[in-house]
Structure 1
């Protein structure tokens, strides 16, 4: 339905433009084919403003999303570090088992999750490890109320990791509305095509200048597309937060 109304809007806009140009473009200047500098300036400015508006909106939106996604990785890694520290309050056998499984999970996030996220997926193996860890902590028998409080604190911390993992999984599949990309491409094509359409001669100097414009337009589109997929090349969010968590595990053990 969204695409239908988008196409209807485009058709209405084109129809109005054609009708107005047909009805109002009957002056002697229009009939003779000469150009009105003021009119061309207005149209050129409108095209440039349209491209800048769409591009700026997309870059701002995708950059904000990119930073938010990166922050979510640090939130999850921080929750894993908290759980690792809380596991130290358990009896030695349970402590070592929980810390070992947490370390395995973080390693799997780095080695399994990250490559899969480039394809808009997450690792089932990492999910299974975290689910098994939560089940193991739930099955720990507490000797007294104090021990139960320590176990429940750890269980709550693991639930926090799980929640933040779900947020990261949702981030992987988020994308800007496709309609915005269509608007960006249309604005870019009109902006580049406008100078030749209104009579820009194809001499060497003009071709170089128009090529520079095309390069900047292409770079803007590239930035938008790259920021729209934060877990894919070339602007991939790195698992730095989880590598830092592994370093903190070693510091806590020490």
Structure 2
């Protein structure tokens, strides 16, 4: 797997880990926040797998996924922890949403800027596969998000 593919696979794993942390955090919240945040995390994960990932191969991202990410972030940021335990969970969720957001931006930016600079034609054929990590035979798949979705279903 090309180095860029490994970096993007790690970014996907980082985002999926952040989403799982958010799903776990949602279980500690009172209703209706518990159900809402868990559902948002699961909905976002489905959107990334089924809608946005194919768009990344076309050097685009999904506006629906951005909206869902924003809803998740706002849902966490509007929490008002009362106890020390609440504060610790809030801090963990805040760190997870920041990690998740950073990984998302890295993945989307890489898809948007993937391109081949002017190179001799032979080198172009070799480099092409490395510069379009979301399409072609060596494409990076949303592998980390699929088990994350299954784990979210189990915890929410």
Same fold (TM over 0.5): yes
Aligned alpha-carbon RMSD (Å):
2.3
Task: Give matches, 1:159-174, under 5 Å.
Answer: 159-174=98-113
1:237 aligns with 140
Bigger relative contact order (CA 8 A; separation at least 6)? 2
CA positional deviation for 1:227: 2.6
Partner of 1:109: 48
Structure 2 unmatched ranges of 5 or more: none
Structure 1 consecutive aligned stretches of length 4 or more whose deviation exceeds 6 Å: none
Where structure 1 has 5 or more consecutive residues not aligned to the other structure, the ranges are 1-61, 189-219
- Is residue 56–residue 134 contact of structure 2 (8 Å, CA) maintained in 1? yes
User: Larger Rg: 1 or 2?
Assistant: 1
- Cα distance change of structure 1 residues 177 and 227 upon mapping to structure 2, 3 Å threshold: closer
**Structure 2: distance between partners of 1:121 and 1:75:** 20
Mapping 1:200-219, distance limit 5 Å? none
8 A Cα contact 1:81 1:249, kept in partner: yes
Task: Give the count of matched residue pairs.
Answer: 156
Q: Which has the higher helix share?
A: 1
Cα distance in 2, alignment partners of residues 224 and 89 from structure 1: 47
Cα drift, residue 233 of structure 1: 2.5
Q: TM-score, normalised by structure 1?
A: 0.55
